[in-house]
Amino acid sequence: MQYEAVIGLEVHAQLLTESKIFCGCSTQFGAEPNTQVCPVCLGMPGVLPVLNKKAVEYTIKTGLALNCRIAPYSRFARKNYFYPDLPKGYQISQYELPLCEDGYLEIVIDGERKKIRIKRIHLEEDAGKNIHDPSGYSFVDFNRTGVPLMEIVSEPDIRSPKEAALYMKKLRAILRYLGVCDGNLEQGSLRCDANVSVREVGSTEFGVKTEIKNINSFRFVEKALEYEIKRQIKLLSMGEKIIQETRLWDSQTGTTQSMRSKEEAHDYRYFPEPDLVPVVVSEEWIEKIKKDMPELPDQKIERFIKDYGLPQYDAEILTEEKALAEWFEEAVKLGGKPKEVSNWIMVELLRLLNEEGKDITECSLTPSQLVELLGLIEKGTINRNTAKDVFEEMYKTGKSAEALVKEKGLTQISDSSVIIDAIRQVMSTNPKEVERFKAGEEKLIGFFVGQVMKLTKGKANPKLVNELVVKILKET
Ligand code: ADP
Ligand code: ZN
Ligand code: MG
């Protein structure tokens, strides 16, 4: 039997507003526990919530970026449940009337574009944080209580763990471009619950799904889903049934464990929030937000391909982070050739940043430093190999390319007589290879070029070395 996976993601994004969703408390991360609280977010009796306009605006912005319909009229609801991190005993959320509905996001899988439909985006408040101390005591930090959260729910259009990861990456890029969420999975400002079921290929009905929680990295999105899909297929092939439940991803063991049987919506006794008026969004407001929309990743990719003649692959990598795209464009503006700048970024810069676990915003190397280096290659002052070392030095020390070339005496040797001397020296120490070449082993040219480059400590002009090696070997 052949099975296929059906996946739908529910993503929670903490909004980058300065204050909480229903009170004026700060949302700053990392403060001393319970220092950013007030009677409203602590759920004291008699207090009244007031909706944060910015949170609504950010959600509309996201809805527009994800091609959703923005509801002219939406409403908050109470979702009732008990947990120590929820002082009111209910979470204010949106239920039957969310702010945004029926959108989509596009991913590119194996070179093909695929639309993943967005079912809804709604606004809600975050809960606090339970801290389980090794002493055996548990504590609650209410600083996070009332931080605005956007829940973005996809339709079950995702068909593989790889697609799920691509969806998450694209979504994260869009949220970061919009400036509505910092997208940090590890710190939990972006959280992903993955719903997954499997079915026989060809079947038109969905199977019973499970929901996986606690996935806090892109790698784990894929790993958790891969594990869960295998687990479900194994059960079904043994003739057993899948139980609808919530499962917890454990990155230590690489498995999912049953956490609780799935609750139903009616368990929460949803009802309209009586303390808040409905949210009415005017056409004018939507138009105003539309006007302020930044260029989004997909538009940037298209523009990079069109304006700079870049391959799709390059354009996608360069636009993953807005700051990286800006770094690239700055270098091109300063005179760098687009494809060349792109190569240096993708091969050298991203490698160096990766090694240190840094992103482009933490990079001290400037676009103008790269462009200066490219100029030195073009003038023939240094060759490409040397340039790689200079690039790394520039990155590490912040010194200019010119200064480094001088300091280390890296100037390329383009003086034929020096190169010819080196060739003769290599020939005299390798008489056997010279004999073999003469006997017709043409491919030994590579060997001689390599030896000459080694002798000149990589500084010789490789093109010239090649020409001269051929010439001199043929002459002797
Ligand atoms: P529930 O009422 O159980 O929360 P929803 O209809 O609200 O289910 O869907 C929650 C998420 O689960 C959505 O992202 C949706 O795409 C996904 N989903 C729904 N049914 C399935 C299924 N059979 N298999 C996989 N994912 C599913
Ligand atoms: Zn407060
Ligand atoms: Mg649901």
| 274 and 384 part of one domain | no
Buried b (16+ CB within 10 A) or exposed e, 66-105: bebebbeebbbbbbeeeeeebbbebbbbbbebbbbbebeb
Does 414 or 357 have the greater pLDDT score? Answer: 357
Q: How far is the CA of 23 from the centre of ligand 2 (A)?
A: 5
CB of 152 closer than 6 angstroms to any ligand 1 atom: no
What's the mean pLDDT in 189-210?
94
Overall average pLDDT of the 33-42 stretch: 97
Please give the average per-residue pLDDT across 140-145, as a whole number.
97
Which of 236-240, 288-292, 412-416 is least confident?
412-416
Judged against a pLDDT cut of 80, whether residue 414 lies above it is answered with: no
Q: Is 6 in the pocket of ligand 1 (CB under 6 A)?
A: yes
- Distance between CA atoms of 271 and 80, rounded to whole angstroms? 9
Contact 145, 126 (CB under 8 A): yes
Instruction: Give dist(CA 335, CA 343) in Å, integer.
Output: 15
Please state, rounded to an integer, the average pLDDT across all residues of the chain. 92
pLDDT of residue 82: 94
- Ligand 1 pocket check: which of 96, 124, 195, 196 to mutate, most ligand atoms within 8 Å of Cβ? 195
Using the atom order of ligand 1, give the atom closest to the CA of residue 153.
14
State yes or no: pLDDT of 159 exceeds 90.
yes
> What is the DSSP code (8-state) at residue 109?
E
Does residue 455 sit in the same domain as residue 310?
A: no
Quote the pLDDT of residue 359: 86
pLDDT at residue 198, as a whole number: 97
Q: Is the pLDDT of residue 369 over 90?
A: yes
C-beta of 10 in contact with ligand 1 (< 6 A): yes
Residue 60 is predicted with a pLDDT of 98
Q: Are 433 and 447 in contact (CB under 8 A)?
A: yes
| Domain presence at residue 410 | no
The residues near 216 (Cβ < 8 Å, ≥ 6 apart) are 185, 186, 188, 191, 251
Last residue of a domain, one of 288, 305, 321: 288
d(CA 221, CA 223): 6
Q: What is the helix (H) or strand (E) element at residue 291, kind and residue range?
A: helix 283-291
Are 124 and 206 within one domain?
yes
Q: Which ligand is closest to the CA of 119, given by its number?
A: 1
Q: Domain of 308?
A: 294-405
What's residue 386's pLDDT?
A: 83
Instruction: Quote the CA–CA distance of 27 and 43 in Å, as a whole number.
Output: 17
Both 203 and 344 in a single domain?
Answer: no
Cα 284 to ligand 2 centre (Å): 31
Residue 74 has pLDDT above 90, yes or no: yes
User: Which two tokens mark 310?
Assistant: 């870049």
Q: Give the mean pLDDT of 189-204.
A: 94
Residue 201 clears pLDDT 80, i.e. is over it: yes
Do residue 136 and residue 276 come from a single domain?
yes
Residues near ligand 2 ion, CB 5 Å cutoff: 23, 25, 38, 40-41
pLDDT over 90 at 221, yes or no: yes
Does residue 260 carry a pLDDT above 90?
no
Inside any domain, residue 411: no
| pLDDT tens-place string over residues 99-108 | 999 999 999 9
**How many structural domains are present in the chain?**
3
**Is residue 136 scored above 90 in pLDDT?**
yes
- Same domain, residue pair 255 and 344: no
95 Cα to the center of ligand 3, angstroms: 9
User: Residue 155 CA: which ligand 1 atom is closest?
Assistant: 16
| Ligand 1 pocket, residue 4 CB under 6 Å | no
* CATH number of the domain enclosing 465: 1.10.10.410
Beta partners for 272? 77
Distance 8 CA to ligand 1 centre (A): 6
Q: Is 162 in the same domain as 81?
A: yes
pLDDT at position 277 is: 95
* Centroid of ligand 2 to alpha carbon of 333 (angstroms): 47
CA 11 – ligand 1 centroid, Å: 12
Nearest CA to ligand 1 atom 6: 155
Task: Work out the widest C-alpha separation in the chain, in whole angstroms.
Answer: 100
Compute the average pLDDT of residues 368-380: 89
Confidence of residue 407 (pLDDT cuts 50, 70, 90): confident
Banded pLDDT at 64 (limits 50, 70, 90): very high
Alpha-carbon span 40 to 139, nearest angstrom: 20
- Contact 107/116 with Cβ under 8 angstroms? yes
> What distance, in Å, lies between the first and last C-alpha atoms of the chain?
70
268-299 tens-digit pLDDT: 999 999 999 999 999 999 999 999 999 999 99
